[in-house]
Structures are given as structure tokens and as C-alpha cells.
Structure 1
Amino acid sequence: MSLAEQIKPVSYLKANAAELLRSIGEGGEPVIITQNGEAKAVLQDVASYEQTRQTMALLKLMALGAQDVAAGRTVPARAAIERLRQRRDPAA
């Protein structure tokens, strides 16, 4: 589906909701809904939405990790493993 086909006015959504949902479900491409010529919403299938949320969560974790590295909040792997072992078995 070309970009032009992915942009629909809200009136099209109202008149063709079932067809639009079927198309989104089959193709997986989101549709941009406009109102008064301005983009107002994005309509996408649930699987794509969930994948997007998972991707964003992973990117956020990566960004937080990069901030920790930049700030020097790191420890050598051996020390981290030892710390975990101590937590699991304090008598060791």
C-alpha cells in the first residue's frame, strides 16, 4: 500500500470501517486518519501495536543502559556475577 493509500479522512473511516479494519488486519500497514486535512490518529492492527510497544520498551532499556555507561555506573561482569551469587547464597 502506498503512502497516499494509507491516509484517509475520518469520513472514509465512518463509511468504510469494516473494510478498513479488514485491510489493516491483512496488510499490517497502519492507516493515518485525518480530520479537516490534519493527521489526527493512526489506526493499526493489534499485533503491530504490541510489536511497536515491545520495540519501544527495548529501545528505552537500551537508552537507559547507554546513560549508565556514559555516567560510569558500571561494574565488571565478574564482580556483578559474584554479587548475584552472594545474594542467592549469603553463606558462600
Structure 2
Amino acid sequence: MDITDRIKPISYLKSHTTEIVRQFDEEDTGPMIITQNGEAKMVVISIKSYKEAIEQRKLNEERMSFMKLLALGTKEIAEGKFVSEDDFLDEMDRDE
């Protein structure tokens, strides 16, 4: 479906709310863009799409955090700020 078919004026939302909800229940046809005075004002999406977007955002945040940790570790290695494996293991043995 062409996205331009999903752009509707606010009056359409007001007069077809039940039909729109039914369509979202039956098939997720994607977001609906609501306009007011010819200007896009809001996006209506199904709860399923909303939950998926939240999960995707969380996943992206976790990936970004992991990438930052990798970059920090790489930088510290390049600066020589690390402990050799033998020194680490020796220190672990001393802590027992």
C-alpha cells in the first residue's frame, strides 16, 4: 500500500475511528498519518507496531552500549592501559 493512501485529515479519524481500529486489529496496514489544515500532525499505529518499535529501540540501545564498550576497550588497549593475562591470573590467585 502506498503511504499516500495512509495520509488522512483529522476529520477522517474522527468519523472513522471504529473502522480504523478494526483495520488495525485485522491487519497491520502500517502507520496512518493524520493531518490538520493540510499539515502532518500525528501518526496512528497499532499497539503491535508500537510494542515492536519499543523493543527495537531497546535492542538498538543495547547494541549502541556494547559498541561503546568495545570502542573504549580498543582505545585503552591502543593506549597500553591493560593488564597481561599472566598478571591478571597472578592477581586473581593472590586475592584468594
TM-score after normalising by structure 2: 0.69
> 2:18 is aligned with what amino acid?
A
Write out per-residue CA displacement over residues 45-81 of structure 1, whole angstroms, 9 at most, x where no aligned residue: 111110110011000110111111111179xxxx9xx
Structure 1 gaps, min length 5: 80-91
Structural RMSD (CA)? 2.1
Aligned ranges for residues 6-85 of structure 1 at < 5 Å? 6-28=6-28, 29-72=30-73
Q: Bigger shift: 10-19 or 35-44?
A: 35-44
Distance 1:5 1:26 in 2: 18
Identity %: 36
Structure 2 gaps, min length 5: 77-84, 86-95
Runs of 4+ in 1 over 6 A off after TM superposition: none
Alignment length (residue pairs): 76
TM-score after normalising by structure 1: 0.72
Please identify the structure whose Cα radius of gyration is greater. 2
> 1:27 is aligned with what amino acid?
E
